[in-house]
Amino acid sequence: MARGRVVVTGASTGIGEATARRLAEEGFAVVATARRLARLRELARQIGCEFFPADLTDAGDVARLVGFLEEGEPVTALVDNAGGAIGLDSVADGDPADWLAMYEKNVLGTLRLTQALLPGLRRTGGDIVFVTSMAAHEAYPGGAGYTAAKHAERMIARTLRIELVGEPVRVIEVAPGMVKTEEFSLNRLGDGAKARAVYAGVDGPLLAEDVADVIAWTLTRPTHVNIDLVRVMSRAQADARTLVRSADDDGTLPVSALATDE
């Protein structure tokens, strides 16, 4: 018997995909959602999950996803993972359109689906996991647009935790540092070589599977235990700007590149 029905956003790649896989292994009935239908289909073929394609920045897509969810068993958990960063511009040079796009992806998309599923979770009990970032807790050069969005996302989680205290809903934040994934840095920087350089020389970088392991742990604690916050980084990283690289690293990476994270 399944441990519950959990919705995982951003499930077509990276932390979202790894989380869907891990939760399926843990016995949850997973509903994977993301924009790319082909990737969701392949994931479903491999792990036997439900799936529904949706762009969470589109209110109509969110409504259709919720309609699909209402046709099945009640949702008992939501993992808000979808998001992403654009560029490494300074505050002086930042493009407001990029800032708006990051806010839509990381904040309003998260808000829309959380609001839609919250009534059911309050009735039956359940969990909401917000996958934020080290960027939700720190500032670094070239990251203001992303850190602004992630700080705002974190405030959804913190405020909701206060608003729901005493109700049967756990509100959890998992904040990863730099995570070596297939697409995050590539999407942020738009260049394969630059994306690979972000992780160059890092001994034992944090992987998507490591974060998925933490998310699964928070969801499988006794129901009276609320893991308010987990900050997780590789041993080689201490904060957004402190990262140890191997001795053969030529040291030419800009400091801002060290802060590229999930």
Name the residues annotated as catalytic: 146
CA torsion angle for 36, 150, 207, 182 (degrees, to 10)?
40
Do residues 185 and 256 touch, judged by C-beta distance below 8 A?
no
**Which residues are paired to 179 by β-bridges?**
206
Give the count of beta carbons closer than 10 Å to the beta carbon of residue 107.
20
As a whole number of angstroms, the distance between CA 178 and CA 205 comes to: 8
Distance between CA atoms of residues 21 and 15, nearest Å = 10
Length of the chain: 262
CA gap 67, 222 in Å, rounded = 30
Which residue do the tokens 């992630």 mark? 150
At 14, the amino acid letter reads G
The label of the residue with tokens 């292994």 reads 25
Report yes or no: 242 and 189 within 8 Å, Cβ to Cβ: no
132 exposed, middle or buried (CB, 10 Å; 0-12, 13-18, 19+)? buried
Using CA atoms, how far apart are residues 167 and 151, in angstroms rounded to an integer?
A: 25
What does the radius of gyration of the chain's CA atoms come to, in whole angstroms?
Answer: 18
